[in-house]
Amino acid sequence: MTIAVTRSGVPETTSPSLSSSDVKTTADKTAGAVPDGTVKFQGIGGLDLEAGGHLPDVTLAYETWGTLNADRSNAVLVQHALTGSTHVTRGASDEEGWWEQLAGPGAPVDTDKYFVVSINILGGCYGSTGPSTPAPDGRPWGSRFPLVTLRDTTAAEARLADALGIDSWYAVLGGSLGGARALEWAVSYPDRVRRCAVISIGASSTAEQIAFAQAQTLAIRQDVNFNDGDYYGGPEPEAGLALARRIAHITYRSADELEARFGRSAQGGEAPLQAVSLGDRGRYQVESYLDHQGTKLVRRFDANSYIAITEALMSHDVGRGRGPLKEALARATAEFFIAAVNTDRLYFPAQSHELAAALPGDVPVHVIEAPIGHDGFLTEIGQLSAQLRQNFFA
């Protein structure tokens, strides 16, 4: 089980915060000496949180690709989704990234031209401070980890940008949770975001989306091994985390895709309609598929981080405390690129249209045609290559 480790399994280490005199040296090292696609760490100090908590000595994990230019105007921030990592694209690594169609040499976000940064979200388990990392007393935060909102994560990331010497981003972009993070950046720090791409998410999490999220977090919390979040060093809530992933994955795929792919077929060697008792029956193929998805996540993700990040997504509301939506979005000065997946049943295209209509100016909604549903923002982002190059990355 991955607990407070980097993508490659190296234990997390904290690094001291940087003074302004250190920035140029650090940015130069980031751009050149360390191979692209290598996990690095940066301490950003203590952080007061929107909900009232406090995190001392916060560390953020991040990866970079490409070279930061002399005037530091070519930095692009790519935000990962719920259970994503910092590994957007290969770089010097042989490990495939999760958005290879979007970023890399010759891709729309061309790493030969842009300095690309991806940050593990605060509360995550890929190197950033989260529930599984040590608290000041040396024990994992566990149940003591505070509620972190997307505004908190953005504030933390702004400090990392400071440490890298990035005063403003050429572009900030992401899909799903990553899109929410990008939008929060554009509104919280309008003078630091010149372009913003928000893909497959709206201006806030709806009641239905919060309901789906609550079902997932409750699945983990009700696991017999959860122990109120203090399970480190003992049995972990693997069944609860796997169930949470099953619930989520149903929303990530469309009904038509599941029907076309699995229908009512039985899993090979199993018989769903032959059993002496309910507990002995075999599985349908779609059940086996969901079991597989749950097992995969358990092998690489921390249950408490799943809860922390899911609750951060539940907090998503770019208008909170900022007035009506149009008034809130009027703060942003970035050029926007809005996109949706036509079959998305988690974040409906209507939410993207609502967001676009509330933004200043005439902002179109680009459509990804993908039968699979929400996950199309990952698998079919190549459909928007021409539009992204034309609008942002010429």
Residue 60 CB coordination number (10 Å): 25
Sequence-separated (6 or more) residues with CB below 8 Å from residue 240: 219, 220, 221, 222, 223, 225, 226, 303
- Residue 4, classed as helix, strand or coil, is coil
Name the residue among 351, 368, 339 with its Cα closest to residue 203.
Answer: 351
Please pick, among 87, 249, 316, 374, the residue that the annotation labels catalytic: 374
Residue 266 CB coordination number (10 Å): 17
Residue with tokens 């490990």: 95
DSSP bridge pairs for 134: 140
Dig out the tokens for 392 from the structure.
């942002």
What burial class does residue 263 get, using C-beta atoms within 10 Å of its C-beta: 0-12 exposed, 13-18 middle, 19+ buried? exposed
Cα(211)–Cα(277) distance, rounded to whole angstroms?
32
Dig out the tokens for 331 from the structure.
């703060």
**Is residue 366 among the annotated active site residues?**
no
Please pick, among 188, 344, 352, 366, the residue that the annotation labels catalytic: 344
For residues 30 and 22, the answer to whether their CB atoms sit within 8 Å is no
Residue with tokens 């893909």: 199
Please pick, among 118, 176, 188, 315, the residue that the annotation labels catalytic: 176
What residues act catalytically?
A: 176, 344, 374
